[in-house]
Amino acid sequence: MIKKHLLTIGMMCFLAINSLAQQSNTDPTEKKTHWYESFSIRGYVQARYNRLLETNAQLKNEQGDRSWGQDGGFFLRRVRIIFYGQIHKNVYFYIQPDFGSSASTTGLHFGQLRDCYMDIGVDKNNEFRFRIGQSKVPFGFENMQSSQNRLALDRNDALNSAVSNERDLGVFFYWAPKKIRDRFAMLVKDGYKGSGDYGVIGIGAYNGQTANKPELNNRPHLVGRVTYPIVIGNQIIEPAIQAYTGKYVVAKDQLTTGVKHLKDLNYTDQRVAASFIMYPKPFGIQAEYNIGKGPEFNPTTDSIEVQNLSGGYITLNYKTNYKKQLFYPFARGHYYDGGKKHEKDARSYTVKELELGLEWQPNKNFELVAMYTISNRRFEDFALQNNKQQGRLLRLQAQVNF
């Protein structure tokens, strides 16, 4: 079945490239442009401090912000510079390194590739396009939503645990009518906290080991997503459904000595999720939930097993302005019960968290977020068992956009 899907995707890529070549050869009136007319640079920097009003220094969030808790201090969460451009009417490129990556709690600010892909359109409006390279896997709205736009300081555990850093290497096909592509762009540009343009329909194949990791079993994951932003009076709502399937290999450097595991380390990795977004005009709702199965440490048997997982979140938000300054008060509650396949021993989690926050944008180049987090987290692996941490903390983030 996987070979059949890969052959189909391969044929679609061939047709796309062939169509592009034909268009290039049959358009003698195409205007020649200089490189600087189709090439742009932008980016953003996020600086944080998480220790105000902290009640438990042992409360951690490895997948999110590693400056939580003991020994955390002032922290550069992201330092992104993005190179992008429509270098041909059917060819778009996007390269995004991050110079604020944290290799560990003691190794900060490493340069690391986040995105590096090309979009190849196959029609004059690029309504049908292929995305080739390392990019976001189309699973979940908040996963697709840029950290530059998101209200909550970290993504929810429930859906973000599906793909660490939201990205992987693969080939994805996206389709959306020009009218809807323009709507996706407007929802970001006009401050409605959109996810960006990942098509009305998105399908693809990717390695399945997450970003900047090599393939380990020659068996790609398959993913599909359908979404549509609907205008109802003055409001826009966007329902979506998405799913993926594959085999995830727990890498040997993820294992603690003594933990039991499958001999070939290949574990079933499958999820399905539903999303509902009502954009803040001025009141908004963002809700998602997923179920599935994947590798998870079982403290009863000291082994990594395929287990069920479930969880989701709901965010309530409001968009208002005062003298051209934007304010976004928000509240988010989220829950997750399952494993995190990319952490040590496919660490087992139960997360219950409530966040209350406010984002202030005095101008388009600067944002300040204050968020109070009330957290209850159980996270266990072979070496760290019976570990349940509760606490509260006030988190601050300053962000500059350029």
pLDDT of residue 338 exceeding 70, the answer is yes
Averaged pLDDT for residues 348-370: 98
Supply the range of the domain harboring residue 336.
2-25+50-401
Taking the mean position of all CA atoms in its chain, how far away is CA 318? 22
pLDDT of residue 13 exceeding 80, the answer is no
Higher local confidence (pLDDT), 222 or 108: 222
pLDDT of residue 38: 84
pLDDT of residue 116 exceeding 80, the answer is yes
Q: What distance in Å separates the CA atoms of residue 87 and residue 101, rounded to the nearest whole number? A: 29
Share of the chain above pLDDT 90, in %: 85
pLDDT of residue 23 exceeding 90, the answer is no
Higher local confidence (pLDDT), 107 or 319: 319
Is 263 inside any structural domain? yes
Q: What distance in Å separates the CA atoms of residue 95 and residue 117, rounded to the nearest whole number? A: 7
pLDDT of residue 26: 47
pLDDT of residue 282 exceeding 90, the answer is yes
Q: What distance in Å separates the CA atoms of residue 292 and residue 212, rounded to the nearest whole number? A: 24
Q: What distance in Å separates the CA atoms of residue 217 and residue 367, rounded to the nearest whole number? A: 43
> For residue range 212-256, what is the model confidence (pLDDT) as tens digits?
999 999 999 999 999 999 999 999 999 999 999 999 999 999 999
Report how many domains make up the chain: 1
Is 35 inside any structural domain? no
> For residue range 45-94, what is the model confidence (pLDDT) as tens digits?
999 999 999 999 999 998 889 899 998 899 999 999 999 999 999 999 99
User: Helix, strand, coil: what percent of the chain each, to 5?
Assistant: 15, 50, 35
Q: What distance in Å separates the CA atoms of residue 336 and residue 377, rounded to the nearest whole number? A: 10
Output the average pLDDT for the chain: 92
Is 353 inside any structural domain? yes
Strands 366-380 and 221-227: unpaired
Is 375 inside any structural domain? yes
Is 83 inside any structural domain? yes
Higher local confidence (pLDDT), 368 or 26: 368
What's the angle, vertex CA 94, arms to CA 209 and CA 236, rounded to 5?
90
Is 251 inside any structural domain? yes
Share of the chain above pLDDT 70, in %: 91
Is 30 inside any structural domain? no
Cβ-contact 65, 101 below 8 angstroms:
no
Longest dimension (CA), the chain: 70
At 291, is the secondary structure helix, strand, or coil? strand
Q: What distance in Å separates the CA atoms of residue 279 and residue 170, rounded to the nearest whole number? A: 30
Least confident of 10-24, 168-182, 310-324: 10-24
Is 43 inside any structural domain? no
Q: What are phi and psi of 54, to 5 degrees?
A: -75, 135
Domain with residue 303: its CATH number is: 2.40.160
